[in-house]
Amino acid sequence: MASQAARPGIPDLFTQPPPIRDPLVTETTDLQDATLERCLPFLKGIHNSQSGPFNACGVPALQRDDHVAFAYDSLEDYPASFVILDASRPWMAYWGLTSLFLMGEDPTRFRERLFNTLRPAQNPTGGFGGGHGQISHLAGSYAAVLSLAIVGGEDAFELIDRQAMWQWLGRLKQADGGFRVCEGGEKDVRGGYCVMAIISLLDLPLELPADSEARKAGLENLTDGLAQYMSRCQTYEGGISGSPGVEAHGAYAYCALACLALLGSPEEIIPRHMDVPMLVSWLSARQYGPEGGFSGRTNKLVDGCYSHWVGGCWPILQSALDGKPQSNGPPATTVGHLFSREGLSRYILGCCQSNNGGLRDKPGKHPDSYHTCYVLAGLSAMQHYHYRTDSSPTSSKMFSSAFSWRSSPIREGNVYEKSDRLEPIHPLFGVPYPSADAMRLWCEARPITP
Ligand code: FPP
Ligand code: K
Ligand code: ZN
């Protein structure tokens, strides 16, 4: 199989096993070898399930119509065996709506249906659960708020009980600066990121509610100690873990970096709380050759969803390294792309497209709504240049940086076709740029009094 010729236009880097190998053979290296062998025919563009057409770079086209159909179907009924998804209704909505938006469909047609799904999932004590009767969780609340931002409009924004949300966030705040993901639940960097996304989009007060336990530890604001908490999650490898002392992982790295970039200007806050050269080193090691995709952690396998979690770290770091924005347009000079866009394009379009629609982790895996959303989000992120400007629609000084991002399509060095281009989404919020602004501005006009 490995010796079969590739289509023309594909550099050896993406069709040959790595030239330098660790001689130690373990279960891990066997699995890596097997994964590589499985990916090779897809990277070479010669697997019989690939439908093409292939371009001059040997890259198959995005099967947009099939993926659109998959995304619409993901918002319909599920068989009984999918009952576990009942705890992820806001996520299912978010992944489906975001996938559709990325592919140029109009997600606002689901507005009424979204309201009917989310209204019963909201608890009067604040926040959203995974569905009716379930306790509020930060992940579900984040997905609910983002979904409402995507469909947009007064009815969507009004649906959220912002006062109760703020009270509930106050109960999740911990003395060490972090947040629990639900009352009595675990504390990790997801919590901090979800809270910052919710606070900034909904313009919630930064003060801790009077009854917040964290006040007893001397904290005054929801943001107190949060950047320091993220800092404690950077590991000896340079990556970022879910909580202090455990293994660095790409999904948590995104949460931590996006959280920091919501708390302040990336060029100030990231170097203050992270060892940037170590972080760049670890993040760079997430991209594999010949696969071209990203892994989530050291000695693990490439997976399409890290196109977003790891891929989404790069624009934030690039912005941090580019420094203070000078104007309303892109910076005059930039460090440029810090990973191989070609490699990621080849992995996504070659290995992650399921032949009946939907995107997947890797060849041999089934597509699902989560991977469809985050593989597409990764493809979009590398098709657009995301940068910050010195102007922001918000009147908040605290969040001026978060709302100052803009994007422009990248036209040079692409190995995909114009027809494979996706819409851009905000690098910190994961929603369309105008959706983030509209939600923020509507809420800013209706302040919550602590
Ligand atoms: C390991 O799975 C995966 C994790 C430890 C993290 C998962 C977290 C997210 C996807 C992000 C959540 C973010 C928010 C905003 C709630 P694995 O062992 O199956 O995969 P691996 O082998 O690739 O590490
Ligand atoms: K995985
Ligand atoms: Zn995955």
Instruction: Give nearest CA residue, ligand 1 atom 13.
Output: 190
Ligand 1, closest atom to CA 194?
15
Active-site residue, 211 included: no
- 301 touches 310 (CB < 8 A): no
Provide the ipTM: 0.97
- 127 touches 141 (CB < 8 A): yes
Cα(271)–Cα(268) distance, integer angstroms: 6
Can you give the pTM of this predicted structure?
0.98
Among 371, 384, 426, 440, the active-site one is 371
pLDDT (tens digit per residue) in 284-307? 999 999 999 999 999 999 999 999
Active-site residue, 351 included: no
Ligand 1, closest atom to CA 303?
23
CA of 15 to the centre of ligand 3 (A): 23
Active-site residue, 368 included: yes
Q: Does the pLDDT value for residue 412 go beyond 60?
A: yes
* Model confidence band, residue 22 (pLDDT cutoffs 50, 70, 90): confident
Active-site residue, 275 included: no
Instruction: Give nearest CA residue, ligand 1 atom 6.
Output: 251
pLDDT (tens digit per residue) in 23-67? 999 999 999 999 999 999 999 999 999 988 999 999 999 999 999
Active-site residue, 305 included: yes
Ligand 1, closest atom to CA 181?
16
pLDDT (tens digit per residue) in 242-289? 999 999 999 999 999 999 999 999 999 999 999 999 999 999 999 999
Cα(257)–Cα(272) distance, integer angstroms: 12
CA of 303 to the centre of ligand 3 (A): 5
For residue 301, which ligand has an atom nearest its CA? 1
